[in-house]
Amino acid sequence: MTARDANAERQRRFDEYIGILAAALGHADRLSPLHHYCTGLIVPNPSRRKSAEPMAAITSPTRVRAQHSSLLHFVGNSPWDDGDVLDAVRGYTLPALQAKQPEVAWLVDDTGNVKKGTHSVGVARQYCGQVGKQENCQVAVSLTLA
């Protein structure tokens, strides 16, 4: 497989995944903002920040302000059910994970990252295992199959 073929296959799989998520969002006009948001999350950027402004500069360099506003609206104001999106993710990923080998054990773990501000998604005063007490932090949950 050539590098061009590999890139085309990655793009096809990404577009398929975004299509599945967009269907879970329940409205066709959310496809483009979702595609831009997910692209902004996975494409490296010089600032290494995954906030709306750097993502807008990467996904739409000729209309950064409008793109920034669109991304903020998509994340903060669009009424969509995160449960429906998580169900779509599970329906897409679980069969692919189990096709290789049935799971033996699922390891669920949380990781807290101390944060000073409140502008990142999910930042709140909550228990943070990294410091062993309640702190202003962001918590991520990971799933590992063993």
- Amino acid, res. 17: Y
Confidence label for 118 from pLDDT (cuts 50, 70 and 90): low
**β-sheet bridge partners, residue 128:** 133
- Indicate whether this model's pTM tops 0.85: no
Domain boundaries, the chain: 1-102, 103-146
Residue 13: name the closest of 23, 21, 25 by CA: 21
pLDDT in tens, 40-80: 888 877 777 778 888 899 899 999 999 999 998 888 887 88
Residue 32's alpha-carbon distances to 24, 35, 54, 99, in angstroms, are: 14, 5, 17, 31
